[in-house]
Structure 1
Amino acid sequence: MHRIVIVGGGAGGLELATRLGDRLGKLERAQVTLVDRWPAHVWKPLLHEVATGSLDTSTHQITYAAHAHWHHFGFVQGEMTGLNRSNREVSVAAVLDNDGTEITPARNIPYDTLVLALGSRTHFFGVPGAQEHAITLDTLEQAELLRKRLLQACLKKRSFTGDVKDEAVNVAIIGAGATGVELAAGLRRMEDTFRQFGLLSSENGHEMRISLLEAGARVLPALPEKVSAATHGSLTDLGISISVSDPVNCVTANAVETKSGHLVPADVTIWAAGIKAPDVLASLDGLATNRINQLKVLKTLQSETDENIFALGDCASCAWTDSRMVPPRAQAAHQQAMFLFKALIARIGGRAPGSFSYKDYGSLISLGSATAVGSLSGRARSGNIFVQGLVARLMYAALYRKHLIAVSGLRQMAIAAIAHGLRRFATPRVKLH
């Protein structure tokens, strides 16, 4: 059978593997294999909710092995380390436990068609101290680490009786894109819950001093100015300090220094500024990549170098217009997965894969449990439609439900939603341990 190997089980990779497994794997028309370094999937746009404790990962994880069984594809755990294009093999590293003991050995996985969906990693832009002292939100493990670090910082500053021990907990968030903005708003909810359950004092005022630092001229620089202005106002109302047009110069263990010389104290520093594709892509067997390691692809999403290799999502550099590239968003990965599902079926059948065309449907930003802000794509004459408040929040929640339907089906999504809703009645709104 034709061997399709998909490396990366993010939003696009998992959806593509699921669709191909249900269509081709089930009928034994192709052998579909998903490779990922982690054993389970969590939708990356939700990692800021994991970090603020408002998302229970046990009810939102999709275990790759079980999902593969149910949807007729194979799963191999391990990190991609190399590629042999002559033999058409992907090299996967050994899986080790916490003590360094080998669980599964390194191996080579043969393919006829390879799809790279490796996602993205944090780009530190060479800022001194950033990688050593700042926490990122690339993986579930990093989000859990940040949540625990925030909880520990609060406990150090306040006793359980509410007696003041020191000043407020200082949190510096570098980067005011979607992740930084949503994280800043989520921290206020985290603080309120800590106070409710006695982990912070009950005095008035904020005990988390949150600073949001952006090198650009405004928050959410990639979104329309109206969305940016509304978001800026909402964050200010939440007591969040915002600094723009002042890039970070260096990061230390307890402070962030900006180019202007401003020193921002930080008990916890979070880096949410910029992305790049994994470094392994730049080292692969002669494949063309750009300056941030993204694989250069044609309109067919095939590599410019090798017609047997495709790429999608954040790790792909794909032209949108003459002057713009497809942005690294979940909606782009979803659209590319849908395109490749049809394109790979056509390829196996000996037909041309066609050309990918990206459609921007707008963006939504969560600003807490009950509100959101964003813009939706309207008709050509009317332009984008601005949305805000509860309606925007409901639409934001629907994006995740749409992702679950794409990978698990309507029935499983409905069951998961009901189970999650019932669980919230018996547990705190934020995880407290």
Structure 2
Amino acid sequence: MKKILLILSSSFSFMNAQLNYAGEINPLVMTRTSDQSQINLPFRLLSLDVGYTMGAIDIKTVSSVEHRYDKSESVYDLREVYLAYYPDWGEVKIGKQIHAWGAADGNNPTDNLNPYDYYHFFQPGTGRKIGTMSMATKLYFGNYQIEGVFIPKYKTNRMPFGEKDFPLVIVEEPKIDYPVDDELEFGIRIQTTVGESDFGLSIFSGNDRTPSVLTITPTIDNSGQRRIIPQLGYRTTTVWGLDFVTFAGDFTVRGEGAIFKTRTPLLKLNLFKIPDNLYEFHQEVVYSQYVLQVEYTTEADIIISAQFIGSNVMKENYDWYHSLSRELVDFPVGEFHAGMGTPFALFAEKAILINSSTVFMDDRLEIKGTAMVNLDETGYMISTSLGYSPWINWKFEMGLLHFIGDKNDVENAFTLMEDFSHLRVGMFYNF
């Protein structure tokens, strides 16, 4: 009898399960404004979200088909697939996931759980992130939420190596001589509400998403010239973060800041195989990144958002020493580059980012605009788009992305991106 009741109960639960899906087809073309040539980079032609709900259990997948015109090839990407359980006391998620921490829109120094996909650098929200295998648990205690995330398998940023149409990358993929030894990463975040304000505190321990120089081997080439051959690996980094959302009259104020402590990991070198000319580079750097955002909606339903984005190196310690003798040597130290944090820190140490959007004609016509100004040196980014929806679920969009740099500074990030300025024409079909 008990077996019959169990079978009937399972059958009833299965009959009450729900399958839901949503997707988007988005063919587009990007044409360079300088010479009207086509920019050939992969884009997401198809995006599909599928969920299966049975009581307090969800199975969710987020996938896409990435296409590029120059090679006429399409690649399927299972971006997320995880099991979620929602008991009364919180939630548990296990599988390949994209996490979202922080309070600001798009630029989140406190959100370092997932690597970034630089092919989709200008996508909003989670569109620019890469899913990782992880377990996330969230507990509810009154006005408090405590979230823990464990990531057993380390993953790096996806960079467009060798892509002539994307200027800010290395010509070829570098060799990694020192892979990450301890791949386990974890983070804890506590959120609470005080009055009408939300606050969050977080800590994350992991590894940089981009490589750094860990050792070098000076050599003499055939012409008698001295050459320095770098060996790359990944620093370990701990991040302490604070974020908040509050209201001041008709304004919404969001902010977050993070302090990063990054250091060179202990290299496990074989004493019997260390070359005589190997030198190790030890770094210990403390730096910060922060975002302050103010939003306002006008009486004409124009949404305006302004962000002040900044970063600062607070403390630097560098040492070069010979691997065998451990003797300190006086080698030059290059400019520090953060291996973790918000991607927009690539462009400027301090910048203002302004976004605006509005709709007309019963939401059928949408206009968006974005402007970024580098406050340290010459650099501007301007983006605008016009979208029109003639029928339900259909939208046609035209957009312009334009960079202005410093003609006298070829290393300026905005100068390098000038050739990436383009006109974008696309179509959206949602289902």
Give the TM-score range, shorter chain.
Answer: under 0.3
Greater fraction strand? 2
Greater fraction helix? 1
Q: Higher relative CO (CA 8 A, sep ≥ 6), structure 1 or 2?
A: 1
Using structure 1 for the length normalisation, give the TM-score: 0.23
- Decide which structure has the larger Cα Rg and report it: 2
